[in-house]
């Protein structure tokens, strides 16, 4: 038996999952959990459900399932709550999202219908393309936070939850840079009371969660908890936080391909990425202010993987462009094209074309499940503040001040698994392997 290095509380009782935004990603996640539990489908793409983790030497052939190795909550113990600016229940919202096939949704109809969103905290200045009718009213942002706290406590009580977790799966908010109001917890709380325009709805949700010590994960590129104010609060109340922006689709491919080209010292002078998508997310991103938030998140990836400052000859002149085009006929079935202009030995040019016909929410749903379970694990293990080891799941990973984020998917995976090994008192795996030749 390995001695557990980090003291981890057992995952007893129910884990309440509070989802902000009951749209395509969230309903695909909830429906997927329900379908898996009923044996109607398999949770493909989820590291917590299907992944294995090697322990010890290669000669030991010890690779248990992740879920058998670390004490995670079971899918059966999840109960769901949500907020949305539309009153549609999860069944109606799933039908509208058009991700899952109608007959699959019908099989889950009764269970999905009971998930009715609570009134949301909404500010049209942050999402101009949506007109939410199912929204809370209050004089101040502080009062809105108190109303969210009431929702949370009521949910905990009604569903008899042992622990809680919050995840942002709502629309991408308009781009904001950190302002004075985000610089400290005091200024933030003052800003809540004075309705500071720089406090976005996502920050109010996060504040309500963190104040109660509840883990908060951010699936969109919004600033949200990436500020000193909310990071201070997370430390104070011992809440784990992570973000930003689920790593799916084109960016997932980018963080798989770019590390390979970089490893082989192949130069790149152009990377043009174009997308078409037709879901509500695409509609929101059609607004330049909201697209800017997404663009920043998508653009940052290549720089830290390729490190042009270390390899100016190879990557110093890289022209990187990302386009997202709203195209309703495609719905959630996004299509992306990447054209990569690269060069090799003696500067001879080559081209690589990637055409990914993906399903956005199908890629995002297992990430939501993993994050919910791993953030809960982190909380029970006493880990607080930014959880960099969960970078694996994000396009713009949050890191400690002064650090650059690691975008390489394989390094992120190693970091995640080594963190799990470390928590459980196992040796990290370095892949050095000299012992086999001694
Ligand atoms: N699908 C992916 O692969 C993927 C990848 C990375 C990030 N994301 C992000 O995840 C989020 C959800 O994506 P989606 O495809 O489900 O979008 P969606 O438009 O289908 O769902 C978002 C939901 O959030 C609701 N909403 C908006 N503002 C809200 C608020 N203030 N409070 C509560 N609800 C609010 C909307 O009404 C909508 O129902 C988006 O921000 C998207 O950019 C998605």
Ligand 1 pocket, 28 CB below 6 A?
Answer: no
Ligand 1 pocket, 368 CB below 6 A?
Answer: no
Closest approach atom of ligand 1 to CA 88: 39
Indicate the pTM of the whole model.
0.96
The rounded Å distance from CA 279 to ligand 1 centre is: 10
Give SS3 for 119: strand
What average pLDDT score do residues 266-271 get?
97
Please choose, from the candidates 108, 121, 122, the residue with its C-alpha nearest in 3D space to the C-alpha of residue 27: 108
SS3 of the chain: helix, strand, coil, percent, to 5 = 45, 15, 40
**Domains of the chain, residue spans:** 14-246+362-423, 249-357
> What is the per-residue DSSP string for 194-255?
TT-TT--HHHHHHHHHHHTT--EEE-SSS-TT-SHHHHHHHHHTT-EEE-SSB--HHHHHHH
Residue nearest to atom 9 of ligand 1 (CA): 220
Rounded Cα–Cα distance for residues 54 and 430 (Å) = 12
The rounded Å distance from CA 25 to ligand 1 centre is: 7
Ligand 1 pocket test, pick from 18, 20, 23, 205 with the greatest ligand atom count within 8 Å of Cβ, gives 23
What average pLDDT score do residues 340-369 get?
97
Ligand 1 pocket, 366 CB below 6 A?
Answer: no
Closest approach atom of ligand 1 to CA 22: 39
pLDDT at residue 5 in the model = 62
Rounded Cα–Cα distance for residues 361 and 333 (Å) = 9
The rounded Å distance from CA 84 to ligand 1 centre is: 10
**Residue 127 CA neighbour count, 13 Å, CB half:** 23
pLDDT tens for 54-107 read 999 999 999 999 999 999 999 999 999 999 999 999 999 999 999 999 999 999
The secondary structure element, H or E, covering residue 187 is helix 185-193
The pLDDT confidence band at residue 295, using thresholds 50, 70 and 90, is confident
Give φ, ψ of 36 to 5 degrees: -65, -40
Question: What homologous superfamily is domain 14-246+362-423 in, according to CATH?
Answer: NAD(P)-binding Rossmann-like Domain (3.40.50.720)
CATH for 249-357 is: 3.30.360.10
The secondary structure element, H or E, covering residue 335 is strand 335-343
Ligand 1 pocket, 375 CB below 6 A?
Answer: no
pLDDT at residue 282 in the model = 82
Ligand 1 pocket test, pick from 171, 291, 397 with the greatest ligand atom count within 8 Å of Cβ, gives 171
pLDDT tens for 14-55 read 999 999 999 999 999 999 999 999 999 999 999 999 999 999
Please choose, from the candidates 72, 67, 31, the residue with its C-alpha nearest in 3D space to the C-alpha of residue 50: 67
The tokens describing 238, both together, are: 């011992």
């Amino acid at each position: 038996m390995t001695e557990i290095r980090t003291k981890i509380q057992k995952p007893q009782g129910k884990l309440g999952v509070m989802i902000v935004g009951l749209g395509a990603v969230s309903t695909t996640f909830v429906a997927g959990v329900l379908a898996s539990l009923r044996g109607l489908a398999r949770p493909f793409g989820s590291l917590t459900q299907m992944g294995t983790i090697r322990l010890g030497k290669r000669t030991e052939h010890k690779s248990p399932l992740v879920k058998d190795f670390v004490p995670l909550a079971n899918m059966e113990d999840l109960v769901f709550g949500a907020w949305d600016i539309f009153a549609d229940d999860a069944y109606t919202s799933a039908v509208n999202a058009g991700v899952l096939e109608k007959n699959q949704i019908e099989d889950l109809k009764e269970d999905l219908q009971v998930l009715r969103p609570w009134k949301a905290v909404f500010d049209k200045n942050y999402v101009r393309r949506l007109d939410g009718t199912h929204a809370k009213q209050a004089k101040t942002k502080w009062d809105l936070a108190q109303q969210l706290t009431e929702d949370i406590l009521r949910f905990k009580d009604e569903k008899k939850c042992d622990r809680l977790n919050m995840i942002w799966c709502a629309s991408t908010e308009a781009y904001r840079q950190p302002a004075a109001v985000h610089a400290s917890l005091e200024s933030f709380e003052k800003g809540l009371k004075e309705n500071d325009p720089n406090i976005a709805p996502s920050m109010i949700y996060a504040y309500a969660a963190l104040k109660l010590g509840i883990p908060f994960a951010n699936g969109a590129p919004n600033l949200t908890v990436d500020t000193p104010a909310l990071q201070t609060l997370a430390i104070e109340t011992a809440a784990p936080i992570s973000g930003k922006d689920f790593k799916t689709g084109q960016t997932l491919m980018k963080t798989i391909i770019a590390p390979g080209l970089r490893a082989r010292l192949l130069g790149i002078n152009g990377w043009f990425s174009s997308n078409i998508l037709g879901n509500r997310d695409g509609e929101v991103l059609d607004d330049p202010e909201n697209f800017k938030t997404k663009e920043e998140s998508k653009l940052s990836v290549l720089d830290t993987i390729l490190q042009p400052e270390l390899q100016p000859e190879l990557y110093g002149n890289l022209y990187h462009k990302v386009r997202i085009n709203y195209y309703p006929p495609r719905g959630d079935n996004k299509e992306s094209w990447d054209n990569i202009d690269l060069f090799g030995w003696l500067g001879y040019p080559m081209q690589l074309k990637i055409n990914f016909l993906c399903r956005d929410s199908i890629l995002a749903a297992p990430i939501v499940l993993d994050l919910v379970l791993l953030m809960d694990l982190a909380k029970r293990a006493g880990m607080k503040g930014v959880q960099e080891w969960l970078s694996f799941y994000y396009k713009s990973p949050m890191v400690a001040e002064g650090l650059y984020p690691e975008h390489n998917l394989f390094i992120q995976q190693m970091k995640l698994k080594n963190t799990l090994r470390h928590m459980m008192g196992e040796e990290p795996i370095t892949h050095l392997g000299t012992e086999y030749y001694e």
